[in-house]
Copies of this chain bind each other. A is one copy, B any other.
Amino acid sequence: MTCKCSQQIEVSQDKMEEECGVFGIYAPNNGTDVANLTYLGLHALQHRGQESAGICVNNHGEFNLHKDMGLVTNIFDEDKLEALKGHAAVGHVRYSTTGSSMMANAQPLLTNSIKGDLAIAHNGNLVDGAEMRKNLESQGSIFHSTLDTEVIAHLVARSFKDDITEGLKHSFQQITGAFSIVAMTEDCLMAARDPQGFRPLSIGKLGDSYIVASETCAFDIIGAEHIRDVKPGELVVIDDEGITSTFYTERKASKFCVFEYIYFSRPDSVIANQNVHLARKDMGRQLAREMDVEADIVVPVPSSGITAALGLAEESGIPYQKGILRNRYVGRTFIQPTQEIRDLKVRIKLNPIEDIIEGQRVILVDDSIVRGTTSQQVIRMVREAGAAEVHLAISSPPVQYSCYYGMDTSRRQELIAAQHDLDGIRDHIGADSLTYLSIEGLLNSLDADCGFCTACFDGDYPIGKGTGKLSFE
């Protein structure tokens, strides 16, 4: 907290980043401590965003919100949770962008309008957000943030529908994009997904209480049961009467973000009836079948490459070795060492074990490459530890296109696979060989009850790019 950002080094992951995790609970039983359960749920969703977090409770009509920059465990303490009494709650964790991060963009967003209080937590990105915003401004709306969520709040307030639930449906009909949303009014909790179902959202149950969360791991942490996923185009309303389902639009082909299986979601989560860890392991197996390399050991880049490496080793018969250690005490940022030791960046987080690597032909496994910076550093580190050969195996296809549906892929010009062909990438990162999983192989590895968006691999954008605003802008 006391350090200037410019003087810290980011122990960067060179990964695509999710933009948010959402959580909601409605507890007709007054004894349920909704703030504590939301706190635990957000804790389980912490991997989906580390910039800011917030919890808004509804205490029979009185709303109370606390949000701040930082991790869930740093933002909330016993006193703050104690103060958040209520029978329903909405929570949110937000991804840490590297640029200017604004307190004004922390969620849930709580607004008051003619239709009453409304708290919204949102995961996704509207492709027509900028246009909708301009349109609203031309009608006299004012904005406090750069959140798409605020666009939705305005649409609800301005809807000709008197009822806030109908207003929300009406607003969904006007927007185009990826959104998994949890919303809370004085009377109910609501959960909805966009018509293509780009981002995950599941429904759980704990005693009398209904819960919604981005991932099922948030149910496990509090001992709740996973009921089902919210369906694309569905709006679920939870109140004292129980749970009601409506569809605000007609069915469309589902286009779930395949990167949730590749990297974002927690391995213990289940999405579309497919466990993430098992999917990831099958990608490793498939990768083994697709690659043609002789090697002595399979070594994962921890921790993103571990599961695929296990699958690859099993299928190929090449021994799996934990040849690189990850320091578990590394936080996300770290004080900048002096110039003398500036190039130690990666070693602060990862350290190769020479006794394992020396003299070996190594297949290094990771889940994806974005800009290629970390791959380059890890390969150099492994060579310095004495590897005879270093072959990089990636359990997903080359990321060649930016995402407009809620993940931060960087701009296209920063994507190494958009700038170079396979040989060019291999040369840049310094590997002896480089193998990516094919798109077909990827899709074959998955056994989920949904269709997929693969736009970042093939540029086939299911709902277009709109005004071209990137997800992380």
The residue from B153, B340, B347, B355 contacting A142, defined by CB atoms under 8 A apart: B153
B341-A223 in contact (CB<8A): yes
Q: If A73-B334, A268-B351, A347-B220 touch, does A140 touch B111 (CB 8 Å cutoff)?
A: no
User: Known contacts A220-B351, A353-B275; is A81 also within 8 Å of B335 by CB?
Assistant: yes
For the complex formed, measure the closest distance between the CB of A221 and the CB atoms of chain B, giving whole angstroms. 5
Assess whether A353 is in contact with B73, with CB atoms less than 8 Å apart: no
Q: Please, how many angstroms separate the alpha-carbon atoms of A282 and B363 in the complex?
A: 22
Contact A319 B329, beta carbon cutoff 8 Å? no
A217 and chain B: residue at smallest CB distance: B351
- Contact of A337 with B157 in the complex, beta carbons under 8 Å: no
- Chain A residues touching B, range: 35 or more
A335 and B2 alpha carbons, distance in the complex (Å): 15
Give the residues from 331 to 380 in chain A that come closer than 8 angstroms, CB to CB, to chain B: 331, 334-338, 340-341, 344, 347-348, 351-356
CA A206 – CA B47 in complex, angstroms? 37
**When the two chains form their complex, are residues B112 and A140 in contact, meaning their CB atoms are under 8 A apart?**
no
Other contacts beyond A113-B141, A310-B320: 16, CB < 8 A: A33-B338, A33-B341, A37-B341, A46-B327, A47-B329, A73-B329, A78-B335, A112-B142, A114-B137, A140-B141, A141-B141, A221-B347, A270-B354, A275-B353, A275-B354, A277-B322
Q: Hey, which bits of chain A sit against chain B, CB under 8 A?
A: 1-4, 7, 31-33, 36-37, 39-40, 43-44, 46-47, 65, 71-73, 76-79, 81, 104, 110-114, 134, 137-144, 153-154, 157-158, 217, 220-223, 266-268, 270, 275, 277-278, 303, 306-307, 310, 314, 319-320, 322, 325, 327-331, 334-338, 340-341, 344, 347-348, 351-356
User: Which 9 A-B residue pairings sit nearest by Cβ, starting from the closest?
Assistant: A140-B158, A275-B355, A114-B137, A268-B325, A46-B329, A111-B142, A113-B142, A2-B2, A112-B143
Q: Can you list 22 A-B contacts (CB < 8 A)?
A: A3-B77, A3-B78, A4-B78, A33-B337, A36-B337, A44-B327, A73-B331, A78-B335, A112-B142, A113-B143, A140-B158, A141-B142, A217-B325, A221-B347, A222-B341, A275-B354, A277-B353, A277-B355, A277-B356, A278-B355, A303-B328, A310-B320
